[in-house]
C-alpha cells in the first residue's frame, strides 16, 4: 500500500499544529527567532559553531533551541538524522517564525567524478522516504526554492569549495541502498544520497517558506564498491559561511523585511 495509507489527506485539517504542540508542551511559539535557520546534523560541527559563532540560545520547547549566529541567521542541531526528525524540526522552526531553512549536512556521492573535498547543492530530491508523502501527493516533485538555491550556488562559486548542483536521492533505509538502485541513479546523473532533503523540501513547500540544501561528501557508493570515506577531509565547516551569506542575500532581496516568504 502506498504512503500515505489514507490517500485523500492533503486537504484535510490536522488535529493539532506545531504551534499547538509547542504550547502544549510548555514552549513558546511566539519567541522571536532569526528569519533564516541552518539545520545541521554532525555533532562535532554543531558544537564547533556553538563554541565559536553563536549568541545566547533561544528556547522554543523542551530542549529544542535556536542558536543565533547574527540577527537574521540562526542554527539548530544536536538531534537525530533522517526525514522524520528533519520534518519535525522544520515544522517547529516555521511555527516559531522562520521563513528560510537551509540544510548544511552530509551525503554520499554516486559519482566518481566528484571529489571528497567538493560540495553538492540539491536542486531536486528523489522521494524515497515517508515524510514527504504526508505533505505532497506522490506525483509532485520535492524541490528546493529556486531563488534561494540560485543564491546558494552563486555564493559557493565565490568560495574555495567546488560545488556540483543536481538531484539527490533521499532514503530512510541506510542499510538498504541496493546495488541496482545505485547503478540506476548513478547512470541517471544523480549526484548524492542522503536522508533529509526531500522531507525539508516537502514541508517547506506545504508551509509556504523557502528551503535549500548543501552537503559535503562523506562516502562514495558505486555498483562495484562502497568507500566509507574514513580518510576524507571534513569540509563541512567550509560550507557554513557561503550558506550564511546566501541566506542574507535571500532575505535582503527585493527589500524583504521578514514579513513573508518569497513563494
As a whole number of angstroms, the distance between CA 56 and CA 44 comes to 19
Backbone φ, ψ for residue 199 (5° rounding): -65, -45
Backbone φ, ψ for residue 9 (5° rounding): -110, -10
For residue 2, the 8-state DSSP code is: P
Confidence band (pLDDT; 50, 70, 90) for 258? Answer: very low
pTM of the predicted model as reported, rounded to 2 decimal places = 0.95
As a whole number of angstroms, the distance between CA 165 and CA 163 comes to 7
Confidence band (pLDDT; 50, 70, 90) for 262? Answer: very low
As a whole number of angstroms, the distance between CA 79 and CA 88 comes to 11
Whether the per-residue pLDDT at 8 is higher than 90: the answer is no
The cell for 110 is 554516486
C-alpha distances out from residue 213 to 10, 52, 149, 181, 187, Å = 25, 23, 8, 22, 22
With CA atoms as reference, report the closest residue to 245 among 52, 92, 102, 93: 102
Question: Helices in the chain by DSSP H: which ranges?
Answer: 18-24, 43-52, 83-95, 146-157, 179-187, 197-207, 236-252
As a whole number of angstroms, the distance between CA 231 and CA 111 comes to 18
- pLDDT, tens only, 173-223: 999 999 999 999 999 999 999 999 999 999 999 999 999 999 999 999 999
- pLDDT, tens only, 55-103: 999 999 999 999 999 999 999 998 999 999 999 999 999 999 999 999 9
β-pairing verdict for 58-61 and 64-68:
antiparallel
Task: For residue 123, list its beta bridge partners.
Answer: none
pLDDT at site 24: 94
The cell for 248 is 542574507
Backbone φ, ψ for residue 55 (5° rounding): -95, -160
Confidence band (pLDDT; 50, 70, 90) for 261? Answer: very low
As a whole number of angstroms, the distance between CA 193 and CA 83 comes to 13
Determine if the peptide bond prior to 31 is cis (ω within 30°).
no
Confidence band (pLDDT; 50, 70, 90) for 114? Answer: very high
Amino acid at each position: 500500500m502506498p504512503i500515505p495509507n489514507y490517500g485523500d489527506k492533503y486537504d484535510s485539517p490536522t488535529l493539532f499544529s506545531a504551534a499547538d504542540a509547542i504550547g502544549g508542551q510548555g514552549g513558546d511559539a511566539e519567541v522571536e527567532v532569526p528569519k533564516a535557520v541552518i539545520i545541521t546534523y554532525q555533532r562535532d560541527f554543531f558544537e564547533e559553531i556553538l563554541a565559536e559563532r553563536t549568541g545566547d540560545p533561544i528556547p522554543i520547547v523542551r530542549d529544542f533551541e535556536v542558536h543565533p549566529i547574527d540577527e537574521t541567521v540562526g542554527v539548530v542541531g544536536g538531534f537525530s538524522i533522517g526525514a522524520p526528525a528533519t520534518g519535525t524540526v522544520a515544522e517547529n522552526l516555521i511555527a516559531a517564525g522562520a521563513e528560510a531553512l537551509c540544510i548544511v549536512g552530509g551525503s554520499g556521492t554516486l559519482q566518481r567524478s566528484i571529489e571528497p573535498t567538493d560540495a553538492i547543492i540539491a536542486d531536486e530530491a528523489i522521494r524515497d522516504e515517508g515524510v514527504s508523502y504526508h505533505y505532497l501527493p506522490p506525483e509532485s516533485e520535492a524541490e528546493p526554492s529556486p531563488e534561494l538555491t540560485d543564491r546558494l550556488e552563486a555564493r559557493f562559486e565565490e568560495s574555495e569549495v567546488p560545488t556540483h548542483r543536481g538531484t539527490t536521492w533521499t532514503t530512510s533505509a541506510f542499510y538498504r541502498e541496493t546495488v541496482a538502485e545505485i547503478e540506476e541513479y548513478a547512470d541517471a546523473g544523480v549526484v548524492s544520497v542522503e536522508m533529509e532533503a526531500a522531507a525539508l523540501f516537502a514541508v517547506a513547500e506545504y508551509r509556504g517558506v523557502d528551503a535549500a540544501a548543501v552537503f559535503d561528501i562523506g562516502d562514495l557508493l558505486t555498483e562495484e564498491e562502497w568507500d566509507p570515506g574514513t580518510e576524507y577531509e571534513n569540509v563541512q565547516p567550509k560550507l557554513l559561511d557561503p550558506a550564511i551569506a546566501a541566506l542574507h542575500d535571500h532575505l535582503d532581496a527585493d527589500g524583504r523585511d521578514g514579513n513573508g516568504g518569497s513563494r
